[in-house]
Amino acid sequence: MRCEICGNEIRGQPHYRIIEGGKMTVCARCTKYGSAEWDPFQPRARPRGRPTPRRPRSEVEAAENLELVEDYGVKIRKARQKMRMTVEDFARKIREKESVIKKLEKEELNPDRKLVRKIKNALNVDILVVEEVSAAPVGAKHSRGRSLGDIMKLSQSKSVEEEKQG
């Protein structure tokens, strides 16, 4: 093991010192640069604070199946106008930029969960619905165009046909 300050081989027991805020392993000569000792075998202290609450699995699964309603921009605009708020007023109320509100109403922006919550609290309008999961048969393929594997199969089948012909 080498000293992290001078680079010399540490003979005997290494010393663990805190030097300028960094925890270092040093030789006996370099211990004078340290301000305090530290124990590398002592477990780290966990930060004190409120632990983050864990949501039940069903709530997490439900959140994953949410999608925006059709014409969410129109719903937001009508609800805002019904409450007689301008874009500026609404933006100020939910502490967002006017450009964000304008993009939402034009449906040029998909809001994140935090913004959806702000909109719901301010306008009392819900723009998320639970997505209906279709029960597709297990072996069913979804048509998403050609994949790299499809192209490979096509090229292999063409080369087999060419071999048969020639």
Q: What is the pLDDT of residue 97?
A: 93
Q: What is the pLDDT of residue 40?
A: 81
Measured from the Cβ of residue 17, the count of other Cβ atoms closer than 10 Å reads: 21
**End-to-end C-alpha distance for the chain, whole angstroms:** 69
| Contacts of 29 by beta carbon, 8 Å cutoff, 6+ apart | 3, 6, 8
* pLDDT higher at 140 or 104: 104
* pLDDT higher at 165 or 24: 24
| Of the candidates 81, 117, 79, the residue with the CA atom closest to the CA atom of residue 96 | 117
Show the tokens assigned to 164: 């048969």
Q: What is the pLDDT of residue 60?
A: 47
Q: What is the pLDDT of residues 12-48, one digit of tens each?
A: 889 999 888 888 999 988 988 888 888 887 776 666 7
* pLDDT higher at 134 or 112: 112
Q: What is the pLDDT of residues 64-76, one digit of tens each?
A: 677 888 888 899 9
Sorted by where each begins, the domain ranges of the chain are: 1-41, 61-130
Residue with tokens 């005997």: 12
Q: What is the pLDDT of residues 80-130, one digit of tens each?
A: 999 999 999 999 999 999 999 999 899 888 888 899 899 999 998 888 887
CA dihedral 49, 53, 54, 58 (to 10 degrees): -170
Does the domain at 61-130 match CATH 1.10.1040.10? Answer given as: no
